[in-house]
Structure 1
């Protein structure tokens, strides 16, 4: 919670939030896990995103893609947290190949390591497009970037994945 905010900052009219949470929590945690590469960080990031959504529910529920808003908030929080602890994490995580992503088992076991060869910006749009099944416009809106940027990042990411996975 934000300091000094008190109970008045939490929107008491949370009608619909419970259903929204139950419908989207699992997919947002898994998507953040894929995007951030860390199951624990993803769970914390999703919790942060949903907490902020609850605090602002009357406004957030009006967005075209409230789940996209939670994804972006969680992603921003997770990236910030990761940057703050990068040195500590890199000292303890020598094998990046054994990342645990909750309930995600791709048909090709090489996919998760290949995703982590992508930059976070590229990985985030790939996850949103192919895991969350969002359109390019929905991704652009959720991440607050231009649709052309989404297309460009997807194209570059798919080229890199094709190379890493040995696709023709």
Structure 2
């Protein structure tokens, strides 16, 4: 039992339940956003769903430490991206070369959005991850650097190159 400053006893279970409620609120507020960011970065909705679920499960098991981070959603995104990268490596080792399937744009999406998604999909994954963090997740340069484990200068240069490539690609596609 813990005793609060007011002298009221509080059980360990109540304290844990409050932490779980805190995680539930975090999950509700961020799960869809992290999923969308992973789906854009990975170009596979099914893999993004699995990566998000795995990352959220890891966040839940480490919630006391994760909630203290400056950007828990960025941490979840990075864990999901790392998990998906490991999954891809495993699949590549097990599959015959050349058997990767291209993922088409989602049905019913406006043609401009499909073109933009295809141009984004052509970016190298490190550049695509920076674009997703900075634009889709609206993270700052520092938060993006922390989430991806790179320097702020690398974030800036990757974003600059990615946006220049996207501008060129979108002009050609028009």
**TM-score bracket, shorter-length normalisation:** 0.7 to 0.9
2:171 — aligned with what? 166
Q: After superposition, where does 1:135-146 map in structure 2 within 5 Å?
A: 135-146=140-151
Distance in 1 (CA, whole Å) between partners of 2:60 and 2:71 is 15
Distance in 2 (CA, whole Å) between partners of 1:157 and 1:106 is 21
Q: After superposition, where does 1:71-86 map in structure 2 within 5 Å?
A: 71-86=77-92
1:124 — aligned with what? 129
1:147 and 2:152 correspond: yes
Tell me which of 60, 67, 70 is aligned to 1:61.
Answer: 67
Where do 4+ consecutive residues of structure 1 move more than 4 Å?
Answer: 103-107
Q: Where does structure 2 lack aligned partners over 5 or more consecutive residues?
A: 1-15
Distance in 2 (CA, whole Å) between partners of 1:64 and 1:92 is 37
Find the structure with the greater CA-based Rg: 2
| Alignment length (residue pairs) | 154
TM-score (normalised: structure 2): 0.80
Q: Contact 1:35–1:127 at 8 Å: present in 2 too?
A: yes
1:91 — aligned with what? 99
Q: Where does structure 1 lack aligned partners over 5 or more consecutive residues?
A: 1-10
Question: Greater relative contact order (Cα 8 A, min sep 6): structure 1 or 2?
Answer: 1
Cα-Cα RMSD: 2.4
1:4 — aligned with what? none
TM-score (normalised: structure 1): 0.83
Q: After superposition, where does 1:4-43 map in structure 2 within 5 Å?
A: 13-43=19-49
Q: Secondary structure at the match of 2:122?
A: coil
